[in-house]
């Protein structure tokens, strides 16, 4: 069972550590001992019988953790080999290094020495952690490349070395490239995950991520703008002022709720023979709990939409929306899926000034990217749901920064890009992918990691997501919450269905996800995470 948690940037983590030390909560040495103990403990949990281990120690405090791991595994009967850099480390790491030197020797951290040892055994990567500022080079780069090639059982201390923990990028490597970087079986990180553990290459390179408690809870008063991560498989964050929403099915606002108090979603569809995408959105909006859903194609395409589901209402909307929007009960609009770019542009010109809660997806995003006046009319009740291609059309400079090979840390991240985009356009931006980042204009952000459901990348999945978010907006959830909960339910629906999923299955899985959420909420008052099997 995983719980949602906050993600801290490396700067925030350093601030917390400094505060802990400054207030006398813990010394640096104690924190390092706890960090090393946590890693050694995880290793012994996985390999209970002592065996050979090679600990690779870098020049900073990450290396200091490595010397602690070496000492504790030696004490537990392991056959420990240590390779380390010969620089003078900071005082805490120096102390840990001396303690190890009282037990065993330190061989130079070079590829030749590493290859010269007996093969096999567990490897511990304690070369670089949060202090990585530039791409590894020379001997260290050669060692990391070698580890990526031979793939030994590898335990990473805080992160696989070379990974930028703020972005999930490998410094010095083109984005997305990392075939020969170390792939850890398990990464033991401290106190809280960092963005790089859950976005970019992080999930690929970290393996199983274990967050170890090193006693920093009492000083957790990090600076502002903390993103909350929403983990798979499913969870409800707690103790957070910006916690994701409670299940709208349980939200009984008026005394005698009726369908209109559950909102009325309008899904704007496109011309003849292109209505499938909008129907998927409409079905998802209905299933997620909008009181009413109206599908609105142009008159000539209305006949395309006869048939199931009967719960869906249909009405023709041709070129203008003002008359339709005069019905103020229409409180959430979805525009884009299968809409056609020209039609989306024309309708947006009416829609955006009305300042109704709106999801803009697909063709609506392309229309936006072609018309600066439309972009200027975006407002804080809008949710934009671009994939990376659409994002690049809307925010080319941000996409370019995100695509550039990072030469120094902290590298520009998907989290930075979504936040910058949201601040710039004044709307919630949901940047899709296996690592979906959702950001609000005020800097609040959520990461939803769905690397475990690659089958969600299927045609029409985005249309279903747009519909889910629209349905939640109709239920009066604020835009950031609707986008977050929609993303969560979307991925969980895919997870429950399993491989073989097509987008049509997603709306049909929603009841099962909602039932689990409802059961959890009625039994535990949002205090603990939902166990999902
Ligand atoms: N600060 C603390 O109190 C704690 C820190 N801990 C550990 O300390 C780590 C952070 O320690 P540091 O800040 O010392 O940083 P690191 O140990 O990650 O490495 C920083 C060192 O490497 C050098 N360096 C950076 N990039 C390099 C490159 N490409 N090539 C060669 N040298 C490079 C830096 O100049 C610095 O000397 C964490 O990841 C964690 O493992 C833990 O012990 C818990 C407590
Ligand atoms: N590798 C992946 N693993 C998990 N989810 C993914 C992956 N790639 C994409 N997704 C998700 O699948 C959905 C695809 O949406 P989108 O790209 O808009 O597709 P479409 O336009 O065909 O509907 C998004 O929710 C996205 O976050
Ligand atoms: K490391």
Q: Give CA–CA dist 264/128, Å, rounded.
A: 53
Whether the Cβ atoms of residue 253 and residue 518 lie closer than 8 Å to each other: no
Q: Find the 80 Cα to ligand 1 centroid distance in Å.
A: 22
Whether the Cβ atoms of residue 20 and residue 27 lie closer than 8 Å to each other: no
Q: What are the residues facing 439 on neighbouring strands?
A: 429, 445
Residue 118: per-residue pLDDT: 85
Task: Write down the mean pLDDT value for the chain.
Answer: 89
Q: Give CA–CA dist 323/210, Å, rounded.
A: 55
Q: Which residue positions form the known binding site for AMP?
A: 432-436, 462
pLDDT per residue as tens digits for the range 201-238? 999 999 999 999 999 874 545 444 455 555 543 333 33
Domain residue ranges in the chain: 5-226, 258-516
Residue 316: per-residue pLDDT: 96
Q: Considering the entire predicted model, what is its pTM?
A: 0.92
Q: Find the 255 Cα to ligand 2 centroid distance in Å.
A: 39
User: What is the complex's ipTM, to 2 decimals?
Assistant: 0.94
Query: In the 8-state DSSP scheme, what is residue 134?
Result: S
Whether the Cβ atoms of residue 170 and residue 404 lie closer than 8 Å to each other: no
Closest CA to 56 of 163, 134, 147, 151: 147
Residue 7: per-residue pLDDT: 87
Residue 246: per-residue pLDDT: 47
pLDDT per residue as tens digits for the range 100-137? 999 999 999 999 999 998 888 999 999 999 999 999 99
Please indicate whether residue 434, judged by its CB atom, sits closer than 6 Å to ligand 2: yes
Q: Which residue positions form the known binding site for K(+)?
A: 62, 125, 161
Residue 231: per-residue pLDDT: 52
Asked if the 5-226 domain carries CATH number 3.90.1150.200, the reply is: no
Question: 413 in helix, strand or coil?
Answer: coil
For a ligand 2 pocket test, name from 365, 390, 450 the mutation site with the most ligand atoms within 8 angstroms of its C-beta. 450
Q: Find the 46 Cα to ligand 1 centroid distance in Å.
A: 26
Whether the Cβ atoms of residue 494 and residue 506 lie closer than 8 Å to each other: yes
With b for 16 or more beta-carbon neighbours within 10 A and e for fewer, the 90-118 pattern comes to eebbebbbeebeeeeebeebbbeebeeee
Q: Say what angle helices 505-524 and 479-497 make with each other, to 10 degrees.
A: 110
Q: Which ligand is nearest to the Cα of residue 123, counting in written order?
A: 3
| Residues, beta carbon < 5 Å, ion ligand 3 | 125, 156-157, 161
Q: How many helices (H) and strands (E) does the chain have?
A: 19, 18
For a ligand 2 pocket test, name from 274, 394, 429, 462 the mutation site with the most ligand atoms within 8 angstroms of its C-beta. 462
Q: Which ligand is nearest to the Cα of residue 136, counting in written order?
A: 1
Query: Would you give per-residue pLDDT tens digits along the chain (533 residues)?
Result: 234 578 888 998 998 999 999 999 899 999 999 999 999 999 999 999 999 999 999 999 999 999 999 999 999 999 999 999 999 899 999 999 999 999 999 999 999 999 998 888 999 999 999 999 999 999 999 999 999 999 899 999 999 999 999 999 999 999 988 878 999 999 999 998 999 999 999 999 999 999 999 998 745 454 444 555 555 433 333 333 334 444 444 454 555 566 667 899 999 999 999 899 999 999 999 999 999 999 999 999 999 998 889 899 999 999 889 999 999 999 999 999 999 999 999 999 999 999 999 999 999 999 999 999 999 999 999 999 999 999 999 999 999 999 999 999 999 999 999 999 999 999 999 999 999 999 999 988 899 889 999 999 999 999 999 999 999 999 999 999 999 999 999 999 999 999 999 999 999 999 999 988 776 655 433 322 222 22
Q: Find the 112 Cα to ligand 1 centroid distance in Å.
A: 24
Whether the Cβ atoms of residue 206 and residue 188 lie closer than 8 Å to each other: no
- Which tokens go with 190? 């401290």
Cβ atoms within 10 A of the Cβ of 353, count?
A: 12
- Which tokens go with 394? 């809307």
**Residue 186 main-chain phi, psi, to 5 deg:** -145, 140
Residue 229: per-residue pLDDT: 58
* Domains 5-226 and 258-516 in one fold: no
Q: What is the DSSP string of 459-484?
A: TTHHHHHHHHHHHHHHTT--HHHHHH
For a ligand 1 pocket test, name from 8, 39, 60, 136 the mutation site with the most ligand atoms within 8 angstroms of its C-beta. 60
Q: Which residues line ligand 1 (CB under 6 A)?
A: 17, 28, 31-32, 35, 58-65, 128-136, 157-158, 190, 214
Residue 521: per-residue pLDDT: 56
Cβ atoms within 10 A of the Cβ of 246, count?
A: 16
Question: Domain 258-516 adopts which CATH fold?
Answer: 3.40.1190
Q: Which residue positions form the known binding site for (6S)-NADPHX?
A: 61-65, 129-135, 158, 277, 338, 387, 463
- Which tokens go with 15? 């601030």
Q: Find the 501 Cα to ligand 1 centroid distance in Å.
A: 43
Please indicate whether residue 387, judged by its CB atom, sits closer than 6 Å to ligand 2: yes
């Amino acid at each position: 069972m995983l719980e949602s948690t906050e993600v801290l940037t490396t700067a925030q983590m350093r601030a917390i550590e400094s505060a802990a030390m400054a207030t006398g909560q813990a010394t640096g040495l104690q924190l390092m001992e706890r960090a090393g103990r946590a890693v050694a403990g995880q290793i012994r949990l996985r390999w209970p019988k002592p065996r050979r281990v090679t600990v690779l120690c870098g020049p900073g405090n990450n290396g200091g953790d490595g010397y602690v791991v070496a000492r504790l595994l030696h004490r537990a009967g392991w056959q420990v080999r240590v390779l380390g850099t010969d620089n003078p480390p900071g005082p805490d790491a120096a102390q840990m290094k001396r303690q190890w030197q009282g037990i065993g020797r330190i061989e130079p951290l070079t590829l030749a020495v590493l290859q010269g040892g007996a093969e096999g055994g567990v490897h511990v990567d304690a070369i670089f952690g949060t202090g990585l500022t530039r791409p590894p080079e020379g001997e260290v780069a050669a060692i990391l490349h070698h580890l990526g090639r031979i793939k030994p059982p590898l335990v990473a201390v805080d992160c696989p070395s070379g990974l930028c923990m703020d972005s999930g990028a490998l410094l010095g490597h083109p984005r997305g490239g990392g075939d020969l970087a170390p792939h850890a079986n398990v990464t033991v990180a401290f106190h809280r995950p960092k963005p790089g553990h859950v976005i970019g290459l992080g999930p690929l390179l970290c393996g199983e991520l274990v967050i170890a408690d090193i006693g920093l809870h009492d000083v957790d008063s990090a600076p502002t703008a903390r993103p909350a991560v929403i983990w798979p498989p499913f969870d409800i964050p707690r103790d957070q002022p910006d916690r994701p929403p409670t299940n709208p099915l349980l939200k009984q606002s008026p005394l005698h709720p009726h369908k209109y108090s559950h909102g009325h979603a309008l899904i704007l569809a496109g011309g003849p023979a292109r209505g499938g995408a909008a129907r998927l959105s409409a079905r998802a909006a209905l299933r997620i709990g909008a009181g009413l859903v109206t599908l609105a194609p142009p008159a000539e395409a209305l006949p395309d939409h006869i048939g199931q589901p009967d719960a869906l209402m249909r009405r023709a909307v041709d070129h203008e929306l003002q008359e339709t929007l005069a019905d103020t009960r229409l409180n959430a609009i979805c525009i884009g899926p299968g809409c056609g770019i020209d039609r989306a542009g024309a309708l947006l010109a009416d829609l955006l000034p009305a300042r109704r809660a709106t999801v803009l997806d697909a063709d609506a995003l392309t229309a936006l990217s072609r018309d600066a006046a439309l972009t200027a009319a975006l407002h804080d009740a809008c949710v934009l749901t671009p994939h990376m291609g659409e994002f690049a059309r809307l925010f080319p400079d941000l996409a370019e920064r995100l695509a550039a090979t990072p030469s120094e840390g902290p590298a520009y991240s998907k989290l930075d890009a979504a936040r910058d985009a949201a601040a710039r356009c004044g709307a919630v931006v949901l940047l899709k992918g296996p690592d979906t980042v959702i950001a609000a204009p005020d800097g609040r952000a959520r990461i939803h990691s769905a690397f475990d459901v690659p089958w969600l990348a299927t045609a029409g999945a985005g249309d279903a997501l747009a519909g889910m978010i629209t349905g939640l907006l109709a239920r009066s959830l604020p835009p950031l919450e609707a986008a977050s909960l929609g993303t969560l339910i979307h991925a969980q629906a895919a997870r429950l269905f399993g491989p073989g999923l097509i987008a049509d299955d997603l709306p049909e899985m929603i009841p099962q996800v909602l039932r689990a959420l409802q059961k959890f909420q009625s039994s535990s008052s949002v205090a603990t995470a939902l166990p999902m099997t």
